[in-house]
């Protein structure tokens, strides 16, 4: 098992192989009220990785996501996505988001919610419908195109939210505690589904914030462990378990060992 866990502000090497998608070079973020949310974060993320960010409340996980999404600028350091600024990458629809709240428009059908990003760009309606079918098929909701959000369960709403994020074929999917409000069974089902979707698109990179160490180990190729404020990357832990992963993985000794390692890293 290849566990990399080193001192704060470490240099994290991108694993060999795929090109770097996100480069964070000595990033710091101080909010106008003086809060130092991030200090000297250094992390390279490769194309096709599934990275989970774990850390105590307030350690700056959402701040990292906001900076990657181009919603605010680092106070210090450089942040590049495919060699572009985050704002440029967002304009080119390379980035999509999923939040804990599914943020669906209640008066719009599932189809219209899903095609919203394409509609805002003004693409042909026939193509929009095809794309809605494609992504709703991926999340198992193709038969719900005409349904309104209020007719859906929490898990189904989250699937629609994921479908809406996938409709613009992003290279980078940012997920900020997307399953945090769901019951355990639904959560595990959605974890399985998300991994299936990610495996179908070998180039999509997923960055996922969670407070749940079990979820982080189950999903990711690498876990990023953050320290309490001011947030730093205290280390990354590879999860060298092949995909597809299924229920059996959750009950293996390797899984328990990795959970212990990540939990231990969080306490340091
Ligand atoms: N706009 C802002 N202005 C001032 N301080 C902020 C702002 N946004 C976040 N902070 C502070 O920056 C720190 C990091 O916040 P952030 O939301 O990034 O942490 P987090 O790790 O995502 O937290 P949680 O796990 O609780 O969601 C916190 O102390 C927070 O109070």
139 in the same domain as 65? no
In the chain, the largest separation of any two C-alpha atoms, in whole Å, equals: 54
Range of the domain at 48: 3-94+170-267
For the segment 224-243, what is each residue's pLDDT rounded down to a tens digit?
999 988 889 999 999 999 99
Which protein residue's CA is at the shortest distance from atom 26 of ligand 1?
57
In a domain, 99, yes or no: no
Percentage of the chain with pLDDT > 90?
Answer: 78
Q: Are residues 185 and 153 in the same domain?
A: no
**Pick from 149, 169, 189: which residue ends a domain?**
169
188 and 79 in one domain? yes
- If one counts the domains in the chain, the total is 2
Q: How far apart are CA 50 and CA 39, in angstroms?
A: 23
Read off the pLDDT band of 183 (50, 70, 90): very high
Residues 257 and 206 in one domain: yes
Q: What is the CATH number of the domain that holds 21?
A: 3.40.50.300
Residue 202: predicted pLDDT: 74
Query: 136 CA to middle of ligand 1, Å?
Result: 33
What's the gap in Å between 132 CA and the centre of ligand 1?
Answer: 34
Residue 1 pLDDT > 80, yes or no? Answer: no
Ligand 1 atom nearest 33 alpha carbon: 4
Q: What is the reported pLDDT for 18? A: 85
Owner of token pair 């320290």: 227
Residues 51 and 198: their CA atoms lie apart, in Å, by 12
Q: Are residues 219 and 205 in the same domain?
A: yes
Interval between CA 96 and ligand 1 midpoint (Å): 21
Together in a domain, 233 and 161? no
CA dist 234 and 12 (Å) reads 10
213 lies in some domain: yes
Residue at 78 is within a domain: yes
pLDDT category of residue 102 using cuts at 50, 70 and 90? confident
Among the candidates 150, 169, 188, a domain finishes at 169
Distance (Å) from CA 246 to ligand 1 centroid:
34
Ligand 1 centroid to Cα of residue 64, in Å, is 10
Mutate to test the pocket of ligand 1, among 58, 210, 266 (most ligand atoms within 8 A of CB): 58
Name which of 37-41, 101-105, 199-203 the model is least confident about: 199-203
Q: Which residue has the higher pLDDT, 241 or 6?
A: 241
Residues 25 and 54 in one domain: yes
Which of 121, 139, 169 terminates a domain? The answer is: 169
Q: Are residues 54 and 154 in the same domain?
A: no
The average pLDDT across 251-266 equals 96
Q: Exposed (0-12), middle (13-18) or buried (19+): which is 192, by Cβ within 10 Å?
A: middle
Q: Two tokens at 2?
A: 């290849």
For residue 82, is it within any domain? yes
**Which of 62, 208, 266 is the pocket-test mutation for ligand 1 (most atoms within 8 Å of CB)?**
62
Read off the pLDDT of residues 209-229 as tens digits, 9 standing for 90 and up: 999 999 999 999 999 999 988
Centre of ligand 1 to C-alpha 65, Å, is 11
pLDDT of residue 17: 79
DSSP-derived secondary structure for 119-172? HHHT--HHHHHHHHHHHHHHTT-GGGTT--GGGS-HHHHHHHHHHHHHTT--SE
Q: For the chain, first and last CA: distance in Å?
A: 20
**Which of 224, 223, 191, 210 lies closest to 100, judged by CA?**
210
Dihedral, CA of residue 265, residue 266, residue 267 and residue 268, to nearest 10: 50
Other CB atoms within a 10 A radius of the CB of residue 83 amount to: 11
The pTM is what? 0.91
Encode pLDDT of 134-173 as tens digits: 999 999 999 999 999 999 999 999 999 999 999 999 999 9
Binding-site residues, ligand 1, Cβ < 6 A: 31, 33, 35, 37, 55, 57-63, 229
Rounded to the nearest 5°, which phi and psi values hold at 229? -50, 135
Residue 38 lies in a domain: yes
Is the dihedral angle over the CA atoms 149, 218, 165, 54 positive or is it negative? positive
């Amino acid at each position: 098992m290849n566990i990399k866990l080193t001192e704060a502000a470490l240099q994290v090497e991108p694993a060999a192989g795929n090109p770097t998608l996100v480069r964070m070079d000595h990033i710091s973020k101080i909010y106008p009220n003086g809060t130092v949310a991030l200090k000297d974060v250094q992390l390279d993320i490769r194309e096709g990785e599934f990275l989970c960010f774990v850390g105590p409340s307030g350690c700056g996980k959402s701040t990292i996501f906001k900076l990657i999404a181009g919603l605010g600028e680092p106070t210090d350091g450089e942040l590049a996505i495919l060699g572009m600024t985050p704002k440029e990458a967002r304009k080119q629809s390379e980035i999509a988001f999923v939040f804990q709240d599914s943020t669906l428009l209640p008066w719009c059908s599932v189809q219209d919610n899903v095609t919203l990003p394409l509609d805002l760009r003004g693409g042909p309606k026939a193509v929009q419908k095809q794309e809605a079918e494609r992504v709703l098929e991926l999340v198992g909701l193709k038969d719900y195109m005409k349904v309104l959000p209020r007719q859906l369960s929490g898990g189904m709403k989250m699937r629609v939210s994921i479908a809406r994020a996938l409709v613009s074929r992003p290279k980078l999917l940012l997920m900020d505690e997307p399953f945090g409000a769901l019951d355990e069974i639904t959560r595990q089902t959605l974890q399985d589904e998300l991994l299936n979707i990610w495996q179908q698109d070998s180039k999509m990179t997923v960055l996922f914030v969670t407070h749940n160490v079990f979820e982080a180990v189950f999903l990711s190729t690498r876990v990023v462990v953050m320290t309490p404020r001011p947030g730093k990357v205290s280390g990354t832990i590879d999860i060298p378990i092949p995909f597809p992963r299924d229920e059996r993985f959750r009950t293996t000794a390797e899984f328990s060992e990795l959970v212990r390692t990540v939990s231990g890293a969080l306490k340091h």
